Structure 1
Amino acid sequence: MTYCPACGHALGTSRFCIQCGRPVDDVGVPEHRRTDTAERPAVRPEPVSPVEPVEAPAATTYAARFPLYADEVTETTVETPAPRAESARSASPSRRRPGWPLLALVGLVVAAVIAVGLWRLGATDDTSTAGSGGSGTSTAGGEEPGEPVAPPEDPVELAASSRAEAPATAPPNLDVHGARVRYVAANMLDGTPSTAWRMTGDGTGRTLRFSLPGDVVVTSVGLINGYAKLDRDGGRVISWYERNRRVLSVRWTFDDGSTVDQTLKRTRAMQSLEVGPVRTGSVRLTLLEVSAPAARNGRNYTPISEVSLVGG
């Protein structure tokens, strides 16, 4: 029989002493191993000596027991590839670094482009604007770019001695008094504002041509940009300038290719524009913009009463 070491009471099958409550598991534990708590001291592992490193065994190459084919070599040879890092390192600088001849060629190309740009900038023709009764932009000049043309000493009106050609002409009509009226191109050069050339509809984009009496120097151009005629009917005045369409802007073109644009006002008077002077044998007049006819009693015609060509 086992007795409780604390109180000496006989122990039974219970896990604790029924007399003092001491755990039966504490029976037989040496006194020097006992603690004042229910926990046991941690077990410390025994020190282990370091393990000596072991060298890996050398690789062993085994020859095949027998050749697979009759002409196969039975000996096995292992080749180690040569390092490529050094060769790639030595070849890369030549690919990254361009040679000085290429740099020199690029410099020559850049210099040539700059020189061409400066030459074109210096060769640009000057533009000028001038006029009375209208505004315009002029590119008219001499016979060669940059070469001036001397103006005539006594410029005169050249329209009467010139010839006009029109792209279209409206058919004749009767005025308020029953008189027959024609609208031919020659009416623009007769010096009479009450006559006119006219065409049916909108004349925008159409071009008239005036042949001068020879190779002359022109200093001024102009036109009356509508039908300037006034009629009286039963005590009332009819203004055909207001009822018909009006030319709002034109472009004058000369034989050397130079041009002058002119913006026109709403007036029955002649609107002139100074040009050049420019040497030419003909002048082309292009209608850039034309107004709509009057909203009340409007006439769907594009007319020009007079054209002025001054030079000598």
Structure 2
Amino acid sequence: MDDSVTGRWDARVDGLLSRELEDVLGWAATTIGVVLLAIVGMVPVIVAVLMGIVGIAVGAVVLIAAHSRQGRGAGHGVIAIIFSAVGVLTALVLSMTAFLTMSITSGAGEADSGTAVGPIPTLGPSAVGEVVRLVPQSAAASTTAPPVSDGGGVVSFEAMKALDGDASTAWRTVGDGVGETITVAFGRPVRLAGIGVIAGYASTDNASWVDRFGQNGRVASARFTLDDGRATDVTFLDSPQLQTFELTGDTTALQMTILSSTPGSSPYTAVPEVEFYGWQG
């Protein structure tokens, strides 16, 4: 490129991007990349990808401008592009991993590591009696999100909404739900055979037709503790379908504690359905 062309390009860059603006954009691009790496596992994939695209684009502009006139922003541009690209790749890998894998594990703290894991027994006659769906007498949650209006009326989210057999209702809590609990009491001794959970709000808003599953946070893993302290940790697939696992033991109550969650676009986490299977005491 001859001197006249280079001179015209430098003049054009100087006209569009002052050195002060170059510095500001350089710091902004670097900040985007750093923040993206820090929160990539805590925000929806689409948010991470969009942040990465913006970071890469701004970093590229700063890098081109700095290179054209030997400015000070080249380092910022390179760092922003690298960090943003790594953030995007990390978000995509985490998303694919969550979609393709589901593991169910038993054993943590006082957990019964000898419990077999697999499909729940078929409802009906068994060697020890009739396997039925067990209906708790009551339920209590550590926290409950406030009611909202969805155009069809006021929707509430108390704990019993997770036990009513209706996937369009849910227990919902504010935030990511980690550490929050829902405790059910059967009011009688029961022998558990297994549990079924819908780990995300499998419904559609009646007014806006927004998919509530993606809108709300979903339970990624939870601990189920019997009244004698035995616990089973379970990891769920990010799916609106009912997921079942084997959990055996005699109890009169059970507590579900959220260990981790997949964020949605709203600051809530919802559990629409928890089912219990076993034998009446």
Contact 1:158–1:213 (8 Å) recurs in 2 = no
Matches of 2:163 and 2:103 in 1, distance apart? 20
Residue 224 of structure 1 corresponds to 198
> Do the aligned partners of residues 311 and 151 (structure 1) sit closer, same or farther apart at CA in structure 2, a change above 3 Å counting?
farther
1:157-196 map, 5 Å: 157-159=133-135, 161-175=136-150, 177-196=151-170
- In structure 2, what is the Cα distance between the partners aligned to 1:250 and 1:152? 29
Equivalence map 1:199-214=2 (5 Å): 199-214=173-188
Residue in 2 aligned with 1:288? 259
Counterpart position of 2:250: 279
Correspondence list, 1:18-33, <5 A = none
Q: CA deviation at 1:191?
A: 0.2
1:309 to 267, 276, 281: 276
Residues 267 and 151 (structure 1 numbering): CA distance in 2 closer, same or farther, change over 3 Å?
Answer: farther
Aligned to 1:262: 234
Higher Cα Rg, which structure: 1
Q: Deviations over 1:117-140 (max 9, x none)?
A: xxxxxxxxxxxxxxxx86231544
Give the structure 1 partner of residue 73 of structure 2: none
Residue 152 of structure 1 contacts residue 311 of structure 1 at CA under 8 Å; is this kept in 2? no
Which residue of the partner structure matches residue 154 of structure 1? 130
Question: Could you tell me how far 1:256 is from its partner in structure 2?
Answer: 2.1
Offset of residue 290 of structure 1: 1.3
Amino acid across the alignment from 1:256 = D
Residue type at the aligned position of 1:279: D
- Structure (1/2) with the larger helix percentage: 2
Q: Please, which runs of 5 or more residues in structure 2 have no aligned partner?
A: 1-101, 115-125
> Per-residue displacement from partner, 1:255-307 (whole Å, max 9, x unpaired)?
2221111100111111111122x1111101010001222xxxx1110110001
Q: Which residue number corresponds to residue 241 of structure 1?
A: 213
Contact persistence 1:202–1:290 (CA under 8 A): yes
State the distance in 2 between where 1:178 and 1:255 align: 39
Residues 209, 154 of structure 1: alpha-carbon distance in 2 compared, 3 angstrom cutoff: same
1:268 aligns to what SS in structure 2?
Answer: coil
Q: Which runs of 5+ in 1 are unaligned?
A: 1-132, 143-149
The 8 Å contact of residues 106 and 113 in structure 2, kept in 1 or not, is answered as no
What percentage of residue pairs aligned between the two structures are identical?
Answer: 33
One-letter code aligned to 2:212 = W
The verdict on how the C-alpha distance between 1:208 and 1:222 changes in structure 2, with shifts beyond 3 A counting, is same
Secondary structure of 2:210's aligned partner: strand
8 A contact 2:175–2:267 mirrored in 1: yes
- SS of 1:155's equivalent? strand
1:253 is displaced (CA, Å) by: 0.6
AA of the residue aligned to 2:187? P
For the residues of structure 2 that align with 1:271 and 1:214, how far apart are their CA atoms? 25
Q: CA shift at 1:214, angstroms? A: 0.7
1:136 equivalenced with 2:105 (yes/no): yes
How big is the alpha-carbon RMSD for the aligned residues of Structure 1 and Structure 2?
2.3
CA gap of 1:212–1:141, structure 2 versus 1, over 3 A, is farther
Pairs aligned (count): 164
2: CA distance, partners of 1:134 / 1:233: 36
